[in-house]
Every structure is written in structure tokens, then in C-alpha cells.
Amino acid sequence: MTRAIIWDVYIINPEEFENIIKVGWNNIRKRKTRMLVNTNIPLTLIPMNIAKELNLTLYDKISLKELCDREITCWRSPAVFAINVEGELKYALTFTLVLTEDLYNLFPQLKKHNIDGILGRSTIASFNVSIDTKTGKPKRLPYLII
């Protein structure tokens, strides 16, 4: 049986993130979350309450059938995600899917682990990290010079 990989991930409104140089990391509004790492889904999923808290801009209401046993409705939204990789913060600006339904109603098994969202492979790839097979933590990928 495979164990669940859960990372601490910060979510930031892209407009707020633009101020990081001026005001610093400690003075921008962000939300620390626990996210299930899932390389089987292409995009990251977050619940509507987090999107509202961070005042994320919602675009393109879409319906999906691939995530669970029924069709669900989501909004697309840009968001900045940040993780700690070997003592250094790595950032990724990607589109995320904002769920219109409660995350725990769709995926009840996440509640017992207090998981706030699901980190998809496009966000993971944007961090330029791999998953350490022993610890489950993010691991920096070496840069390739061609």
C-alpha cells in the first residue's frame, strides 16, 4: 500500500505576490495549507473558502467528470504556490481549479488528514522538484545545461 504524501504549501494571490519585493514575505497575505500530492491529476484543486479568503480572481466555470464518481463544477483561477525545498522557498504561478463544492464532500478520506487541497502535477513541475522516494518531501532537481 502506498502512503499519502502531504506537503505544507502556501497559497498567495498573484496580485499580492507582486508586492513581495517591496514589503517582504512576512508582510504579504498568504494561506498555509496541507495539500495531498497527486501526480495523477494535471491541475491543483483548492476549495472555494480559500479562494475567497485570498480574493483570487475566478475565470471560466467548467464541469469535470474525471475527478470523482460524478460531474463537479469548478472555476479556473491563477494562484501562486510556495513550498520549502531544502530550506529555500520555491514559487510557482499556475492555474488552479477552485471547487464549488466542499472538498470533504467530494473526497471524504481527506478530512481525517486535515488536507486543504490537492497539488497536481503541473504545479509540482513548476517548482522544478521531484518527490523524494524515501521521505516524500520535495527534492530539488539539478539544472541541465545543454
Q: Please report, for the domain that includes residue 42, its CATH number.
A: 2.40.70
Does a structural domain hold residue 1? no
Does a structural domain hold residue 146? no
Does a structural domain hold residue 145? no
What is the reported pLDDT for 66? 67
**Cα separation, 35 vs 114, whole angstroms:** 9
Q: What is the DSSP letter of 18?
A: T
What is the reported pLDDT for 8? 96
Beta bridge partners of 95: 78
Does a structural domain hold residue 102? yes
- Domain total for the chain? 1
Does a structural domain hold residue 144? no
What is the reported pLDDT for 93? 92
Pairs from 28-34 (Cβ < 8 Å, separation ≥ 24): 29/54, 30/54, 30/82, 32/8, 33/8, 33/9, 33/116, 33/117, 34/6, 34/7, 34/8, 34/9, 34/113, 34/114, 34/115, 34/116
Residue 103 belongs to domain spanning: 6-113+123-139
Does a structural domain hold residue 83? yes
pLDDT tens-digit profile, the chain (146 residues): 467 899 999 999 999 888 888 888 888 999 999 999 988 888 899 999 999 999 999 998 988 876 667 788 889 999 999 999 989 999 999 999 998 888 888 888 888 889 999 999 999 999 999 898 899 999 988 777 77
What is the reported pLDDT for 75? 92
Residues 6 or more apart whose CB falls under 8 angstroms from that of 21 comprise: none
In 3D space, the residue among 95, 93, 48, 52 whose CA is nearest the CA of residue 76 turns out to be 95
Using the Cα atoms of residue 99, residue 135, residue 133 and residue 2 in order, give the sign of their dihedral: negative
What is the reported pLDDT for 67? 67
